[in-house]
Amino acid sequence: MLKTVTGFFFLFLFSLTLPALAQQKDSTKVDTSLLNKYRIDPGHNSLPFLFRPVQIGEQLMPVNLLDYKINYWHKSIIFSLNFSQSAFTSNYSAGGISGIALNSNFDYKDEYNKKPLDFTTETNLIYGVAKSQGEGSRKTNDRIFFDNKLGTQLSKNWLFFGSLTFESQFAAGYNYTNPDGSAAQNPYLISDFMSPGYLTESLGVEYKPNKFFDLRLGALAARQTFVLDTTLYKNQSDNYGVPIDHTEYNQMAVSVVATYDKDLTKTIHVSARYALFIPYIQPLAYTSHRIDATLTAKITRLIAMTVNATLLYDKTSSASLQGTEGIALGMLYKVP
């Protein structure tokens, strides 16, 4: 029994001293220089090490172009129609005359721009009529205008051009007042289709600094004035410069034409054209001037207000300044 107790006692002492011996071994200092002596050097590794430098360079990639076609034509169409009507009963105390009025305007413009060529064609057709009770139908506006211009570029803003312009009217025009200002009892004919009619050819240079303004200087211009009604001189003494019993008169002159066509805002557009014609063999008093201006203000997509005015001085038709003006509210259709 005593031997057994003694054996357990020595076993207990051994179990206490064993961790102490282990802790003493862990705290032993190790010379790390020996480890450095036997470390593995990658430069002397027996296994091969492959290194490939990265190269960055320009590479051409095939690109498939989109199937787009360049259109050198630029078209615009403006059509306006203005209508007004009024009616009164015979016993309406405030008085008034029943009437109806219709005014139409068609403007077509087409441009071709591919350097060095520049081609422009414009057609402007205007006609208006009003009918009042007791007075019948009377024309309020009438114009046929056709202009063509072909130019070739000389520099950035200058072109050499040739142009052909035609002007006349659709229907007969009458004078409803006497020279003293009183109403004429029998209105008399003063104009008609191709009475007069004007055909103008011009060669010169054109200044075009931007898309909305251009100035033509035609040093060599010719204008043919037509009066096909040989009896018109009885009511129009000057006969528009055409000799009596003749239907045509040709003039050589200097021609200047300036145009301005621009959107002032998203809803307001203004266009104006000034034409100057200076004959070579006639006095300066026979120089003719004409200004046509139109202001358009869009109210909705199809409703707009239009203001147009014309000032004209031409001694062959009148010795004083002529003019017309109109304000209308109606339908306006524009493409694009």
Of residues 3 and 174, more confidently modeled? 174
For the chain, the maximum distance between any two Cα atoms, rounded to a whole number of angstroms, is: 171
Report the Cα 119 to chain-centroid distance in Å.
15
**Low-confidence winner among 25-29, 190-194, 252-256, 320-324 (lowest mean pLDDT):** 25-29
306 backbone dihedrals φ, ψ, rounded to 5°: -125, 135
pTM of the model: 0.78
pLDDT band at residue 209, thresholds of 50, 70 and 90?
A: very high
Angle at 83 between CA 77 and CA 85, to 5 degrees: 180
Q: Tell me how far apart the alpha carbons of residues 258 and 86 are, in angstroms, rounded to a whole number.
A: 40
Residue at 285: amino acid letter: A
Tokens of 52: 């490939």
296 backbone dihedrals φ, ψ, rounded to 5°: -120, 125
Percentage above 70 pLDDT, the chain: 82
Tokens of 67: 């199937």
pLDDT band at residue 180, thresholds of 50, 70 and 90?
A: low
Q: Tell me how far apart the alpha carbons of residues 238 and 289 are, in angstroms, rounded to a whole number.
A: 17
pLDDT value of position 187? 86
Tens of pLDDT, residue by residue over 44-77, are 555 555 666 777 777 777 777 667 778 889 999 9
Domains within the chain, CATH numbers bracketed: 73-335 (2.40.230)
DSSP-derived 3-state class of residue 17: helix
Start-to-end CA span in the chain (Å) = 123
DSSP-derived 3-state class of residue 57: coil
> What rounded mean pLDDT belongs to the chain?
85
Report the Cα 52 to chain-centroid distance in Å.
61
| Residue 9 pLDDT greater than 70, yes or no | no
| Residue 91 pLDDT greater than 50, yes or no | yes
pLDDT band at residue 2, thresholds of 50, 70 and 90?
A: very low
pLDDT value of position 177? 80
Of residues 259 and 86, more confidently modeled? 259
Q: Are the CB atoms for 166 and 149 separated by under 8 Å?
A: no
Tokens of 275: 């034409």
Percentage above 90 pLDDT, the chain: 59
Tens of pLDDT, residue by residue over 30-41, are 555 555 555 555
Q: Tell me how far apart the alpha carbons of residues 143 and 167 are, in angstroms, rounded to a whole number.
A: 7
